[in-house]
Amino acid sequence: MAEHANLRIKLPVVCIVLEVILIILFGALVEYDEHTSANKWTSPNHTDYENEFYYRYPSFQDVHVMIFVGFGFLMTFLQRYGFSSVGFNFLIAAFSLQWATLMQGFVHGLHHGKIQVGVLSMINADFCTGSVLISFGAVLGKTSPVQLLIMAVFEVTLFAINEHILLVFLHAKDAGGSMTIHTFGAYFGLMVTRVLYRENLEKSKSKNSSVYHSDIFAMIGTIFLWMFWPSFNSAITAHGDAQHRTVLNTYYSLASCTLATFAFSALVNHEGKLDMVHIQNAALAGGVAVGTAGEMMLTPFGSMIVGFLAGTISVLGYKYLSPILESKLKIQDTCGVHNLHGMPGVLGAIVGIVTAAVANEQTYGKGMARVFDHIDDVNFTASSQAGMQAASLGVTLGIALLGGLIVGFILKLPIYGAPPDSQCFEDAIYWEVPGENAESGELCAVKSEETDKLNG
């Protein structure tokens, strides 16, 4: 193993320092919210079953499974990078959800000098973590765990700032995170991987591919994500019709997207065969694309159109656009996050703009103000909401690209133990891999016997 990739000092120092800082900040600044604290949940006007826990925790469970199982296993498609895909996903997520709790609390405002936490803050922290894991997919196999933790420190901070601008200043609606989570995470990661471009990555080209069993493991992640995506998009929407509608819209979008994925995967192959890369990824694009407009009156019909379009552009992106990005723009996007999260995220933002623009009281009735919080403000109309949605997309792209550029150069410093070009997409450089030592020993024994015969 290359000496500079040795993590014996670097990783423990970074993990311990970061966790100590987190513990100190939590001790000084974090407290239970009114739904969690024993001395606050005492009002005679509330029963225990009105606690936020009972309304939000099932959704939190689903989102949590997506973060740790869905994203983790989705990235196990590389033949010799399974430990790193699941393990580093685990590490980044565990750090990011703590850091996100603090950053979102700071940015959205302290309550009497404290950050209040409960089940809703847990969901929002997981959302932020999801964005970091999307970026992880773009640099998968080419970065060390220390680089990934440093990237998470900056990305979580920028995510919280971007989210605050969109939701508070621009009044954007983006419950499922097409803009705040998927578009931001994808283009941040793409810019980072562009800065970290490896000219000699072909030295590891043979390992930057899948085998039969690794693709099956990746499909586990796909199925978990596909099943729980309705919960992801609806987790923080308003109780009642908005949450119900978001689940339905996501449900139909994913189903339509899956059929489009199978259809176009066979169509773009001259032999008519399906490509597992398309099925693992593009089938999920419908959940991404319906995120912004999910709580709006998109209708099941509209959701199915969105899903079909998302699946189509995702498959075409994997087939035709990814090779161009790598050869012309030098963007080495390992997982194809541009096709699963980037383009479908932008599509979702556009769908949100259009759906907001055509909103009217005839369709929404008195629920218009529930979906669009500021619609009752003076001179704030459906067109105003559409304009804010469009501005939000521009702000997200700007912060993601600029932030990714700066963080990419920070990660390029030769102090993080990044793998050499010849050892990318390889678990053995960072992990004790069962069987590797035994195989090496057997090989040495065979060579020794051959040498003895030649000398004897």
CA end-to-end span of the chain: 33
72, 134 Cβ separation under 8 angstroms: no
Helix (H) or strand (E) holding 269: none
Per-residue confidence of the chain (456 residues) as pLDDT tens digits? Answer: 455 678 889 999 999 999 999 999 999 999 999 889 887 776 666 788 888 999 999 999 999 999 999 999 999 999 999 999 999 999 999 999 999 999 999 998 888 899 999 999 999 999 999 999 999 999 999 999 999 999 999 999 999 999 999 999 999 999 999 999 999 999 999 999 999 999 999 888 889 999 999 999 999 999 999 999 999 999 999 999 999 999 999 999 999 999 999 999 999 999 999 999 999 999 999 999 999 999 999 999 999 999 999 999 999 999 999 999 999 999 999 999 999 999 999 999 999 999 999 999 899 988 888 889 887 777 788 999 999 999 999 999 999 999 999 999 999 998 888 999 989 999 999 999 997 554 443 434 444 454 455 454
Upper half-sphere CA count for residue 321 (Cβ side, 13 Å): 15
pLDDT computed for residue 109 by the predictor = 84
* Per-residue pLDDT reduced to its tens digit, 96-121: 999 999 999 999 888 889 999 999 99
pLDDT computed for residue 229 by the predictor = 98
Cα–Cα dist 456/67, whole Å:
60
pLDDT computed for residue 436 by the predictor = 59
**Separation in Å, CA 36 to CA 120, 203, 235, 391, 435:** 11, 53, 18, 36, 48
186 residue type, one letter: A
Cα–Cα dist 43/232, whole Å:
31
410, 400 Cβ separation under 8 angstroms: no
Cα–Cα dist 65/120, whole Å:
16
Question: DSSP 3-state assignment of 115?
Answer: strand
pLDDT computed for residue 443 by the predictor = 39
Give me 52's structure tokens: 């936020």
Cα–Cα dist 249/355, whole Å:
13
194 residue type, one letter: R
**Separation in Å, CA 169 to CA 32, 108, 161, 173, 277:** 27, 11, 11, 12, 39
* Per-residue pLDDT reduced to its tens digit, 261-305: 999 999 999 999 999 999 999 999 999 999 999 999 999 999 999
pLDDT computed for residue 111 by the predictor = 85
**Element counts in the chain: helices (H) and strands (E):** 19, 2
pLDDT computed for residue 41 by the predictor = 73
247 residue type, one letter: V
pLDDT computed for residue 202 by the predictor = 86
pLDDT computed for residue 370 by the predictor = 85
| DSSP for 397-431, written as a single string | HHHHHHHHHHHHHHHTSTTS-PPPGGGTT-GGGTS
pLDDT computed for residue 44 by the predictor = 63
Q: Which of 190, 194, 182 lies closest to 396 in space, CA to CA? A: 182
Upper half-sphere CA count for residue 139 (Cβ side, 13 Å): 34
Cα–Cα dist 367/72, whole Å:
38
Taking domain 3-38+57-430, whether its CATH number is 1.10.3430.10 is answered by yes
